Structure 1
Amino acid sequence: MKNKITTLAVILFVLAGCRQSGTQDDLVSIDPTATYPEKELILQDFMDVEYIPLETNDEFVTQGVVMAIGKQFILTKNWSNDGNIFVFDRKTGKALRKINRMGKGPEEYGHLTDIVLDEENNQLFINCFSTKKILVYDLFGNFKRSFNHAENIRYVNVFNYDTDNLICYNELTLYKDGENKGNDSFHMIISKQDGSVTRNISIPFDVIKTPAVQEGDGFAATFVPPLIPYQNNWLLVETSSDTVYNYISKEDKLIPFLVKKTTTNPEIFLTMGTLTDRFYFMKTVKRIFDFTTGRGFPVNNLMYDRQENAVFKPAVLNGDFIKRKTADMTSHPLNSEIAAFQNLEAFQLAEAYKNDKLKGKLKEIAAGLNEESNPVIMLMKYKK
């Protein structure tokens, strides 16, 4: 049986290399311990960039932590757990409404862990980490229903999957370091109606490895995104596996997408960021933490260039800044239209405008900002 499984894995790896690369015969391999050459890119050379200044008024002062972006709306919250959800117009940034259903009642959330915007059904799905519940509201904040996380599961990284389902990850794997996986599956698709598990997606591996460090009574963990939207499919990352998989939704099929060289002492994890036809942006996270300083889990950004069939340490520069300003290509991959987004703080833009360090549309927007303004959301969209 073991030989059959091994043979199947080899076949999948070969197929994946041909399917994903076009010009490659082998699966892309990343050595997180290697030193790669630097490569500088201009963002506007391979992305269409759109700026959306979020309207500021007495009722709409927000730190602008973006939780969801749809075709009609942008949803943000504050860093503090105050329960506010700010709804802005996607095209203009106009402030539309503020929703707050925070509390301890059956129709209220205690924490805004994830917000899923379902514009097709005119609903918001609020994942509440503290109560292990998902609460459903309409787009004006009226309560519709709620359901509990499945038994022995705590959902994180919740996304809209299709009309009837969400896709998410079981965060409780974080506390199972060193245990055997057994028959457990950590990626799953769940019903929007009652939270029941529609489908488990099982990534093959044996022993659980988590992005956490324990030293005596001390415990520290970081977040390695396990779900990355990729065109109309999903890249699935599992810190226990050296392989990133492309999950073909319609076929319920896992195809190896990229492989990381095995590392130990310390373990180095890898997750994906923004992906274009040519560039795969990714980052590595080293499993080390210093409890005396409270610092750890250092990150290293990498990029695979399909055209050159080579890995680089990237510096992606925003061409609308005269002074060197890099764009974040790993933190917020989004969907098949918008590759990624990034917050641009108003006080920094106002200062750059004052010093004549901006150009183009961004300069026009910054002319109307001050240090108290809401952030500007930069959308990085696939070129048509």
Structure 2
Amino acid sequence: MRIAWCIILLLFLVISCVKPRNDKTDLVSIDLFAGEQKEMKLEDIADSVSFVHLETNDSCLIKESTRLYVTSSYILKINPLGGAYLFDRETGKFLREIGKYGQGPDEYLMIPFNSFDENNNVLYADKTLSYWIGYDLHTGKKVCEVKRPSLNKYHTLTYKDGIPRFFRIDSAHYIAYVNNMLGQEPLRLVVFDKNGNVIKIYPNDRSLEKKIRGPYLFTGTYYFRNKDLYFFENNFDTIYEIKEDLIPYAAFNRGGDVVSYEERLMFYQYPDILFVDCVFETDKFILFNYEFKRKAGVGYYDKKNEKTYLKKLDISKGSTYFQGFRYKGLNLYPRYLNLKQELCGFIYAQDLLSEEILKLNPAFRGIKEDDNPIIFIIHLKK
């Protein structure tokens, strides 16, 4: 009997120590300005890095583009105005084009940012302003359509392009951020099915007195961790867990500095304000990219020691715009975190031709200036 009471007491103590997720004191605080600013080295976050030379031929020439996805089998690189090219992850050999740019029955008009469903190997693209089409990576062919939700029932403000892309929650549901393109948008997130039927809305209680027409289309960052869904709104300071409501999970702490809603929406007019534009979370880190003084840098929060590290940017005239982790003379600026928790990005071939870099990285000798980009895959510390 005494043993049973001890077990009950132990369980009570364990339960009493568990804080609810929405307790404000439970927020992860990522101190942007109190954190250490330094020259980021790859060894700070990674055990190793591997490089993949993408095949270059007339069928898969890649122009300047920030869009990259890396799976356990494939590398997918996208041209901004048309052209999605699939390569073998191990060899870099060109495999096939995904879909086709154009106005034909199964062709697309544009591929939005962050439009790849890695869980199902499906790339989505805009067919019209009314719906998206999905292409299977294994075949390159169209496999599905998703209708863009109509929001007229809820208000009359949203433009058709106010929902530039979505995130697939499960086999039947999608979630999308609604751009506040006039400054008075009453919706923040919307959940819908493949037929465009709205299932749930998350209201937006932030507005501007004066209407604006912003040229920038936000998309937001979505990701699953331990089957929980999270969302980060570009240029804002909070990562939310998506439940019945949006539950704050982590916050970028500005040390008392207040940034207005207008400044966040019109961020391109305020280069002196530091804005976080995307996040990547792993078991050990919350990594992020940020913009400041018209330059882009990297940072990370170490969950174990609860410290934030921010790359010290070179903001001098002529310095490179994207400034990432340093490795053997290379500048590694991450673009994508895959399901294997690998941080991925690319380097343009012309940026590898200096004698200093070739001396440190002899494997790059033989690369030509007009070759396709070199992909890097960072294997993060566990």
The answer to whether TM tops 0.5 is yes
**Alpha-carbon distance between aligned partners in 1 of 2:118 and 2:300, rounded to the nearest angstrom:** 33
Q: 2:176 aligns with which of 168, 171, 176?
A: 168
Match of 1:229 in 2: 223
Secondary structure of 1:93's counterpart equals coil
Alignment of 1:311 onto 2:303: no
Structure whose residues are more often strand by fraction = 1
Alignment of 1:378 onto 2:373: no
Equivalent residues in 2 for 1:41-120, closer than 5 Å? 41-47=40-46, 48-63=48-63, 65=65, 66-79=67-80, 81=81, 83-114=82-113, 116-117=115-116
Moved over 6 A (4+): none
One-letter amino acid of the counterpart of residue 127, structure 1 = D
**Alpha-carbon distance between aligned partners in 1 of 2:77 and 2:233, rounded to the nearest angstrom:** 28
CA root-mean-square deviation: 4.0
Equivalent residues in 2 for 1:1-384, closer than 5 Å? 15-16=20-21, 26-29=26-29, 34=33, 36-47=35-46, 48-63=48-63, 65=65, 66-79=67-80, 81=81, 83-114=82-113, 116-117=115-116, 123-128=122-127, 131-139=129-137, 140-152=139-151, 154=161, 155-170=163-178, 173-179=179-185, 181=186, 184-188=187-191, 190-191=193-194, 194-197=195-198, 199-200=199-200, 202=202, 206-208=205-207, 214=212, 220-222=214-216, 225-229=219-223, 231-232=225-226, 233-238=228-233, 242-247=237-242, 254-260=246-252, 262-264=258-260, 266-267=263-264, 270-283=276-289, 301-314=298-311, 317-319=325-327, 321=328, 323=329, 325-329=330-334, 332-349=335-352, 351-352=353-354, 354-357=355-358, 359=360, 363-364=362-363, 366-384=364-382
Are the counterparts in 2 of residues 116 and 126 from structure 1 also a CA contact under 8 Å?
Answer: yes
Are the counterparts in 2 of residues 115 and 125 from structure 1 also a CA contact under 8 Å?
Answer: no
Q: Give the 3 Å change call, closer, same or farther, for CA 272–62 of structure 1 in structure 2.
A: closer
Question: Any idea what the Cα deviations from partners look like across 1:74-107, whole Å, max 9, x if unmatched?
Answer: 222223x2x3221211222111122452222443
One-letter amino acid of the counterpart of residue 250, structure 2 = L
Are the counterparts in 2 of residues 136 and 144 from structure 1 also a CA contact under 8 Å?
Answer: yes
Percent of aligned pairs with the same amino acid: 24
One-letter amino acid of the counterpart of residue 38, structure 2 = K
Q: Give the 3 Å change call, closer, same or farther, for CA 303–201 of structure 1 in structure 2.
A: farther
In the TM superposition, what is the alpha-carbon distance from 1:245 to its structure 2 partner? 0.7
Question: Any idea what the Cα deviations from partners look like across 1:299-327, whole Å, max 9, x if unmatched?
Answer: 665433434434332255333x2x3x443
In the TM superposition, what is the alpha-carbon distance from 1:356 to its structure 2 partner? 4.9
Q: Give the 3 Å change call, closer, same or farther, for CA 281–59 of structure 1 in structure 2.
A: same
One-letter amino acid of the counterpart of residue 259, structure 1 = A
**Alpha-carbon distance between aligned partners in 2 of 1:125 and 1:43, rounded to the nearest angstrom:** 32
One-letter amino acid of the counterpart of residue 231, structure 2 = L
Q: Give the 3 Å change call, closer, same or farther, for CA 328–375 of structure 1 in structure 2.
A: same
In the TM superposition, what is the alpha-carbon distance from 1:377 to its structure 2 partner? 1.0
Q: Structure 2 unaligned runs (5+)?
A: 1-18, 152-159, 265-272, 313-323
Secondary structure of 1:113's counterpart equals coil
Question: Any idea what the Cα deviations from partners look like across 1:284-307, whole Å, max 9, x if unmatched?
Answer: 568xxxxxxxxx977665433434
Question: Any idea what the Cα deviations from partners look like across 1:314-373, whole Å, max 9, x if unmatched?
Answer: 255333x2x3x44324xx243331343111111212x13x335554xx532x12311121
**Alpha-carbon distance between aligned partners in 1 of 2:44 and 2:36, rounded to the nearest angstrom:** 20
Aligned residues: 327
**Alpha-carbon distance between aligned partners in 1 of 2:201 and 2:344, rounded to the nearest angstrom:** 28
TM-score w.r.t. the length of structure 1 is 0.68
Are the counterparts in 1 of residues 54 and 372 from structure 2 also a CA contact under 8 Å?
Answer: yes
